[in-house]
Amino acid sequence: MLLVARHLTKRYRRATSDFAAVDQVDLELGEKDFFCITGHSGSGKSTLLNLIAGFLAPDEGTVLLDGEKLSALDDVAASYLRNTQIGYIPQGSGVLANFTVGDNVRLPFYLHRRMGDPAQRAQTLLEQMGIAHLANQYPAQLSGGELRRVSIARALINKPCLLLADEPTSDLDPDAREAVMELFSAIARAGTAVLVVTHEQENLRHATRHLIMASGRLSGA
């Protein structure tokens, strides 16, 4: 299994009492899996993704990525792992405004020492996303759907084995949403494990599995 989460728990303190934003979550994800998680607002979906990506340390339980325990690594090692293994598509617009579309996509390649030039791969990804003609534009000149595609292309530049996306279609019109979900589906079929948090029921038909988050608990639909 590529991703194994066991008894994953994250507690927050609210007023006087503790509560578990993520509560004893078990999750396994392998190659070509495309899981969708739905759930009410505040049910702990983003918190779960942040735990899996290693941005948050769990209070209980473990995340194993390719057999590696994320929370046991120091920041540099964890960052390197995230950079190489995880493609993270943040909620909202995560495209860097100061950089052109092309530079946004190339950027993760340069964050850690690597040989070679990502230009060719970036070009191919932009073509696959249908935004190659925008390579030299700045984000301010792009539509919401185009920005989302930039985020996806950027998340794929280092050929990650796990793709995490937090509400990637929330601000898109139905056509653009369909296109993005089809992209994820294709990415999953090509061998990458995909985990998407979404609110839209229409998205679920693309997924290989549908999970529901409720009060920090994860269960199959």
Residue ranges in contact with another protein by CB under 8 A: 41, 46-47, 50, 53, 55-56, 75-76, 79-80, 82-84, 86, 88, 90-92, 94-100, 102-103, 106-112, 117, 119, 122-123, 126, 135-136, 154, 158, 166-167
Tokens of 109: 């390649």
**Region 54-113 residues binding Mg ion, contact defined as CB under 5 A:** none
Q: Which of 46, 83, 158, 169 binds Mg ion (CB under 5 A)?
A: 46
**Least Cβ distance, residue 118 to another protein (angstroms):** 9
DSSP-assigned letter for residue 16: T
**Least Cβ distance, residue 68 to Mg ion (angstroms):** 26
Q: How far, in Å, CA of 64 to CA of 51, rounded?
A: 11
83 contributes a contact to ligand ATP by CB under 6 A: no
**Residue 203 interaction partner, one of Mg ion, another protein, ligand ATP, none, beta carbon < 5-8 Å per kind:** none
Query: Counting beta carbons within 10 angstroms of the beta carbon of residue 182, is it exposed (0 to 12), middle (13 to 18) or buried (19 or more)?
Result: exposed
Output 200-207 pairs: Cβ under 8 A, ≥24 positions apart: 200/169, 200/170, 201/38, 202/174, 202/177, 202/178, 203/36, 203/169, 203/177, 204/36, 204/38, 206/34, 206/36, 206/181, 206/182, 207/34, 207/35, 207/36
**Least Cβ distance, residue 207 to ligand ATP (angstroms):** 17
Q: Which is nearer to another protein, 32 or 100 (CB)?
A: 100
46 contributes a contact to ligand ATP by CB under 6 A: yes
Q: Which is nearer to Mg ion, 49 or 135 (CB)?
A: 49
Residue 218 φ then ψ, to 5°: -110, 135
Q: Which is nearer to Mg ion, 46 or 158 (CB)?
A: 46
144, 169 in Cβ contact below 8 A? Answer: no
125, 76 in Cβ contact below 8 A? Answer: no
Which CA distances in Å does 23 have to 52, 99, 113, 164? 14, 39, 37, 20
47 contributes a contact to Mg ion by CB under 5 A: no
**Least Cβ distance, residue 44 to ligand ATP (angstroms):** 4
Q: Which of 26, 30, 42, 201 binds ligand ATP (CB under 6 A)?
A: 42
169 contributes a contact to Mg ion by CB under 5 A: no
Tokens of 129: 């996303």
Total binding residues for ligand ATP by CB under 6 A?
A: 10
Binding positions for Mg ion, rule: CB under 5 A: 46
